[in-house]
A and B are shown apart, each in its own frame.
Chain A
Amino acid sequence: MSHTQTWLESFSQNPSVRRIREVLTRSVAHPIWWVIPGEMPGALDYSTACRTCHYVRHSSTHRLTCQHRFLEALGQARQTKSSVQFLCPIQRYAVCLPVSQNDRVQGYLAMCHSEQAVPKASLELAELALTTAAREMEKTQELKNLSETIQPRCVALSTIHTIHRLISSTLNLEELVPRVARLCCQVLRVESCTIWLIDRERRLLVPRAAIELKKGKKRKASSCRPGKGLVGRVASTCKAKLSERLMAVPLVEEDCLGVILVKRPRGAQAFSTLDQEILTTLAEQAVVAIRNAQMYETQERVTWGTIRSLSAILDGMDSYSPQGASRRQILADVALAIAQKMGLPPSQARPLQYAALLHDAGRVGIPEEILHKPSPLEPAELAMMKEHPVKGARFLEHLETLEPAIPIVLYHHERFDGTGYPKGLKKEAIPLGARILAVANAFEAMVCERPYRQPMSIAKAAREIASHAGTQFDPKVVQAFLSLVRSKRLEALVYPRGSQGQGG
């Protein structure tokens, strides 16, 4: 819509202008109203006037005479910036009221075909009202322009903020990188996005996410060397590459972590420098989240290594030999399998694995003859044994990353009916991880060899555990455990590499 049309529309619909027309119409008889856009129009539109005025309806010569008189009055009004009243060729009264915005005449409100003159006082009031209306329109337009300029930027800022929240809420690279790729597709309205991350050890750019939105198309991406090919060059130079259908930006923090590549199909709108700016902003957001996730992964590996070392030390302290795999490893694997069966997220399953590997760390310090006593324990010996969950929990207190595993270690000897130790907690008051570990621990104790008895078969151990559902064990955990037994999943965990050590 042109400026003239916009002005004409907003001026005609302005409530103050309508009011002026209504008031003036009451003081004169049957006028013809005109809204004339432009500072100095070259011609007038007679389509409305011809319906009422006989003089201009039937003769083009008369229309020209009338127009000449009108344009003369408009010129006068423009010069004086005030209203002009004149007599038309048929001796009717006509008025031109200039409408100024920013000291410039934008158009005119005019009236003709009146049998009587408009009183001067009325004209002055109309002029005043028009000035106010013009100011109103000016302000409205300013606000509209401002809103049209600012709102998209605000929405873009808000989107960046949402994206920041979406990508910083996970520390799992497998989850994070595809999410970043999907968000790039959405924000840039592209069909495909691939993200490569640098593998420092192999000195390779490895594709970690490849999204293709078009149905039926499978996106394939291969590894490449820094410096080689488009992606490799973007990584080695840390400089973005922009073409009509392709855009690649580096993921740079202190050094290059990877590259984001987006593509548009043939015929689609070409990428602009604004698109590059948007992708760079997204990359800046992503790089922080990716760096955090990588650091978290490293920390997880260190923690995992430390725990496995501690577990190996504890394994070495057991004088009876495990069946192929470490007893603690079997316990950790069984506990993890139950947790997964119950749908626990990785954030809860990982502490359970830690707890399983270190659950009996509190036994350090208990004399071997008590630990491995083949006959029932004396009351004092039993009291000493019952202290191991509390002692074990105290050991873990020194490692901050093990904090979520502490309640699991502390309460893994609680019983579902409240008769366990150390606190006698009941049902859901016992942490879920501890309830799972209790089942896995009992199972492992039955199916693994002990100095004082032969290992039990999985089927027999399962029956034993099932018979204690609701008393010693949480029935829901037992249900998940039995489902694993039925699916034969536990056999591979208890008897790795095909070792068949099932007892009777």
Chain B
Amino acid sequence: MDRLREAPAVSPSQRRILRFFQEHPQAVETVRGISTWIGLEPKMILEALEGLVSRKWLVPIKTSAVTGYTLTRNERLLGQIQEALKGS
């Protein structure tokens, strides 16, 4: 049960986004950038990002002109991401 609580299900788009950030943990990317790297429509990316940001797995850096997304630095949350991506 604990494991299920720690690693909630992720959608295929969220999985692809998380995989990108796992492979490039230093990346700071916009929606358009993520769309280029993983080949999904910006609208889908935006929807997927909402869930990832609300779980605090990705951190948005917002300005009036642009929002950049980065992978969390929190070890516990990184563990959750690892769990969520297991078996895929």
Contact = CB atoms under 8 A, between A and B. Distances in A.
Interface of A: 152, 155-156, 158-159, 162-163, 165-166, 169-170, 179, 182-183, 185-189, 213, 278
Nearest to B67: A166
Given A155-B37, A169-B65, A162 B26 contact: no
B29 A158 contact: yes
Contacts, number: 59
Contacts of A170: 63-64
B9 interface: no
A453 B68 CA distance: 58
Given A158-B29, A159-B28, A162-B28, 9 more contacts: A156-B26, A158-B36, A163-B68, A165-B66, A165-B68, A166-B28, A166-B61, A169-B66, A182-B61
Interface string B19-40: 0000011111110010011000
B31 to A, nearest CB: 11
Contacts of A158: 27, 29, 33, 36-37
Contact of A159 (B27, B64, B73): B27
B65 A165 contact: yes
B72 to A, nearest CB: 10
18 contacts: A155-B37, A156-B26, A158-B29, A158-B33, A158-B37, A159-B28, A159-B29, A162-B33, A165-B66, A165-B68, A166-B61, A169-B63, A170-B63, A170-B64, A183-B28, A186-B28, A213-B73, A278-B26
Nearest to A188: B26
Nearest to B30: A162
Nearest to A155: B24
Contacts of B65: 165, 169
Shortest beta-carbon contacts, A-B, top 10: A169-B63, A169-B65, A155-B24, A165-B66, A162-B68, A186-B70, A187-B26, A162-B28, A159-B28, A159-B27
Given A155-B37, A186-B70, A163 B64 contact: no
Contacts of A165: 30, 63, 65-66, 68
Contacts of B59: 186
Contacts of B27: 155-156, 158-159
B73 to A, nearest CB: 5
Contacts of B33: 158, 162
Contact of A162 (B24, B64, B66, B73): B66
A364 to B, nearest CB: 37
B62 to A, nearest CB: 9
Interface in B39-88: 59, 61, 63-66, 68, 70, 73
B85 to A, nearest CB: 19
Q: Is the interface of A mostly helix, strand, loop or mixed?
A: helix
A170 B66 CA distance: 11
Most buried by B among A152, A156, A186: A186
Which among B27, B28, B59 has the greatest number of chain A C-beta atoms within 10 A? B28
Nearest to A278: B26
A165 B30 CA distance: 10
B30 to A, nearest CB: 6
Contacts of A188: 26
A32 B24 CA distance: 44
Contacts of A166: 28, 61, 63, 66, 68
Contact of B61 (A152, A183, A189): A183
Given A169-B64, A169-B65, A152 B24 contact: yes
Contacts of A179: 61
A186 B26 contact: yes
Contacts of B26: 156, 159, 186-189, 278
A169 B66 CA distance: 8
B66 A186 contact: no
Nearest to A191: B73
A76 B35 CA distance: 53
A182 B70 CA distance: 11
B33 to A, nearest CB: 5
B75 to A, nearest CB: 10
Nearest to B59: A186
A243 B73 CA distance: 23
B46 to A, nearest CB: 16
B68 A185 contact: no
A147 to B, nearest CB: 12
Nearest to B64: A169
B37 to A, nearest CB: 7
Contacts of B36: 158
A53 to B, nearest CB: 39
A193 to B, nearest CB: 12
A346 to B, nearest CB: 11
A156 B27 CA distance: 7
